[in-house]
Amino acid sequence: MIDQKAIKKGLNALSKVDQDIAKAYKKIGPPEPRIRENSFASFLSIIVGQQISTKAAAAIMSRVSSTLPSLTASSVLDIDEQQLRDAGLSWRKIEYAKGLARAVTTGELALDKLDSMSDQEVIESITRLRGFGPWSAEIHLMFSLHRPDVFPADDLALLNALAHLKGLKERPTPKKAREIVDHWSPNKSVGSLFLWHYYHQL
């Protein structure tokens, strides 16, 4: 569990291996935990949050939750697509949500088995689904499966924050970003949380 205690412990360790984090941590303090369940609802929230701000995603997820009888695969399968569109989901995201619901219902995505898989196995299992790339899988690894060493390198906010933290002239590519934070292991998840926290202070 990446709770407040784990975050502070991770940041203390990161501060010893990265002077930029040490300096920023001293200035802005630790981030809040982001803990989700390993559930259909968590996967649905990932779809909702793709390529939009955290604030916008929260507003749309609230409307979707109010529209659905329950945050379950069967509810998403049964509901009319126009109702989801009226709640704020794009047609593309509705397609992804319906596909997710079918995968969970048929067992193609076995939620109860993810916790026993390695990080790479989880990523491979999730990215087989339409609409779920590495970012989506890594977000689930971090927030719902509580894996400690994950860096979602396709996240633009993370890349922008990393560029600012490291004094880079331009945003690094995901590949370059992974190289830059390689020495954060085994605390990359806490480092990622800190970068989002840092981004909101810019």
**Catalytic positions, written as ranges:** 155
Tell me, letter by letter, the H, E, C secondary structure of the chain: CCCHHHHHHHHHHHHHHCHHHHHHHHHHCCCCCCCCCCCHHHHHHHHHHCCCCHHHHHHHHHHHHHHCCCCCHHHHHHCCHHHHHHCCCCHHHHHHHHHHHHHHHHCCCCHHHHCCCCHHHHHHHHHCCCCCCHHHHHHHHHHCCCCCCCCCCCCHHHHHHHHHHCCCCCCCCHHHHHHHCHHHCCCHHHHHHHHHHHHCCC
